[in-house]
Amino acid sequence: MYLKLGRIASSLGTRFLRKRLFRNGAAATNSSAREENEPTLEVKCHYTQAEINGCIFHLGDCALIRGENQKHIGRIIEFFETMDREDYFRVQWFYKPEDTVMKEEASFHDKKRIFYSSIMNDNLLACIISKLNVIQVSHQLNMNSSSIEPSDFYYDMEYCLEYSTFRNLPRGDSLEGCKLPSLSCPESILPLTSSPVAVNRTICKTYNPELTMLDIYAGCGGMSTGLCMGAKHSGINLVTRWAIDADSSACESLRLNHSNIRIMNETADDFLELLKHWERLCKKYVIEETHQPFSSPQKVSDLAEASSDAQSNSDTEGDELEVLGLVDIRYGDADGSGKEGLQFKVRWKGFGPSEDTWEPIDGLSNCQDLIQEFVINGFKKNILPLPGNVDVICGGPPCQGISGYNRFRSVDAPLTDERNRQLVVFMDIVEYLKPKFVLMENVMDILRFDKGSLGRYALSRLVHMNYQARVGIIAAGSYGLPQFRLRVFFWGALPSEELPQFPLPTHDVVVRYYPPSEFERNIVAYDEGAQPPELEDAVFLGDAISDLPAVTNYESLDAMPYSRPPETEFQKYIRSTKYDMCNSASTEEEAVLYDHRPHQLFEDDYIRVCQIPQRKGANFRDLPGVIVGDDNVVRRDLTQETVLLPSGRPMVPEYAFTFEQGKSKRPFARLWWDETMPTIVTYPNCHSQAVLHPEQDRVLSVRECARLQGFPDNYRFSGTVKKRYRQVGNAVAVPVAKALGYALGMASQRLIDKEPLLTLPPKFAYSTISVCDV
């Protein structure tokens, strides 16, 4: 039984409102699907209170509301009666964690935490079950349900379906004690405080405060390099201080290009252990013994310097090996015994750096002074991040367990698959260091595989750690590359910060997106149907590589001269010097072309490739003895004698006929100048991908692939040719990272509006910054 109280007779009178009607109080998670059939409710009058089952409900009260299959939580915004004498209420919904896109991956969240949303609709009054006490808590609190006053539920963040966003509550809206009917959805109000920053300019100032960054799973550094470039365009000096990667060649590449980063060749798991030990050592030696406050140390610099004081320290007596100093620290298994632990790299008296050895800390019990000295110096030089002194963590945890290219994947419990465990480790490091901002990158399968559970897990971890977060799907081609390459990015930002936006495309690329329907609202693009803005023309293969000198399948030089000047805007930009691009200290012109050598095809494949005509669309179907049926399926022409290679194997190999049920045109396919590649992968396999140069009989060189990923020509790669391709193919395309870096820089300065997407400044893709220091 219910009674209406406090009728508002004259203020609104009879009005017609177009309302969403969800009988039985079905929450609005799938609201958009129903908008088409919204009935029009003819409202007779409004009320300020209602008595339901003996309990008086006021406007602004929260209630448990009956849904189709479950109960929901909402705030009552209006009570009204229709001309048909039906009693309704308008409700603004809250989301329980598992009602959001996190779904069952939110199972470890506090059951009392719910999320504010601006989604509202109308329901029959009979759906109200009971009153609930829901309170807003300050996002600054380190929340757990015991630290807040008793309530049924609490909320500190808003959830929006666009880009699966969790963010601070809208400002300027008290959200509580709302006693008057609200006839429109309250929008979050955040003034746009600045217009975009101009590019191609000379900035005669030192940059805004430095932001420090840790790049985990850094690879050759595509992501952090681009982020720093982009942040500089927003006026922020984002500096990669530390980078870790388990692969030694990737670390070598990082060293080749970045002299100021502390690069650690270790696994992320060991790195996390190292961080924990390091904090303990700093507490022990820096705070307890020197009584120094545990405040942010100063600048990172190389370890040799950090340990230099130690070198003058000890005298040798007798023949015993004597420790001269400690020069590095790591966590791991020193002697391969399987026993993990903290280790120091020891410089022995009378020996040089090449004879340094890793020694477990247990064996250095006589060297307490040296350990103390190392820790105090290391703390001062900031050789390792401590909780709270990293501003940004970026990383692309590897995902071999889910990659679409990998057939051996664990479908039932993807997170227990060792190959996906790095997602957990990445989040554990974030949890430990608590950076202001997080950016995680991954392949599309993170949203596809096992109904997107890995992506949901990543988001859930961020939100659980009290980060604001959002998820976007980005196509590299949209930022000025001849490559589609879809990737997923997760932003995280502490509640004290602004949540970065996603950068809208700058280039006109038609991308074939096939995200799972649930993640369609995560695509970073202009609205279809909306007036498209002036975008730059798409960049094609020719724009990117036509100026490079011809090389053969057998090219083995790592460095060579350019044979001609750049021909396109892309080529001019990609050849610009480090100094132009990112205000690095180097000013010398780089006139040498590096890494322009291809993976060498074996004899059989080389002969086959030489037979593929140099024209658009050419592939193995152009070889002798292939028939293409009406159904587009290829088969061998049995009327002709099979053409054999000198090795005795057939000119057209068997796998070309069976690949993708004979329908593929990719085996031995040439690219063409006016084309966009799907994705640069980690190995240029001409048996299954279109990777042949348009007019030369070889696969694309490492440099050509690097250009398609937007690496500037001065960015070099280390390791075998195969490893270099891997580093390039694994990387976040530099222009994408640059665009994201701009968004990060703007957010860190609070120069953003409430929209999830941001427009990049004009000509951003080819913009460079020259800096004259003051």
What are the residues binding ligand SAH (CB under 6 A)?
217-223, 244-247, 250, 267-268, 396, 398, 422, 730-732
SS (H, E, C) 155-187: EEEEEECHHHEEEECCCCCCCCCCCCCCCCCCC
738, burial (CB in 10 Å: exposed 0-12, middle 13-18, buried 19+): buried
The values of phi and psi at residue 70, to 5°, are: -150, 175
Candidates 235, 137, 239; CA nearest to 195 is 235
Tokens coding 275: 């961080």
Question: How far apart (Å, rounded) are the C-alpha atoms in residues 225 and 246?
Answer: 18
Q: How many CB atoms lie within 10 A of CB 409?
A: 18
Element housing 632 (H / E): none
Q: Is 399 a catalytic residue?
A: yes
Shortest distance in whole angstroms from residue 493 CB to ligand SAH: 20
Q: Which long-range contacts (CB under 8 A, 24 or more apart) does 357-362 make?
A: 358/330, 358/332, 358/334, 359/334, 360/334
Q: How is residue 155 written in tokens?
A: 């909320």
Closest CB 72 distance from ligand SAH, rounded Å: 40
Question: What gap in Å lies between CA 651 and CA 663, rounded to an integer?
Answer: 19
Residue 179 CB burial class (10 angstroms; 0-12, 13-18, ≥19): exposed
How many residues in total does the chain contain?
774
Q: Return contacts of 640-644, CB within 8 angstroms, 24+ apart.
A: none
Q: Are 49 and 59 in contact (CB under 8 A)?
A: yes
Query: Active site residue: 399, 582, 686, 705, which one?
Result: 399
| C-alpha–C-alpha distance, residues 499 and 467, integer Å | 9
Token couple for 692:
């042949």
Residue in the shown chain whose Cβ atom is closest to ligand SAH: 219
Min. distance of Cβ 225 from ligand SAH in angstroms? 8
Please give the structure tokens belonging to residue 231: 């942040």
Residue by residue, what is the 3-state secondary structure of 238-302?
Answer: EEEEEEECCCHHHHHHHHHHCCCCEEECCCHHHHHHHHHHHHHHHHHHHHHCCCCCCCCCCCCCC
Distance from chain centroid for Cα 277: 28
For ligand SAH, the closer of residues 248 and 552 by Cβ is 248
How far apart are the C-alpha atoms of 383 and 527, rounded to whole Å?
A: 46
Return the active site residues: 399
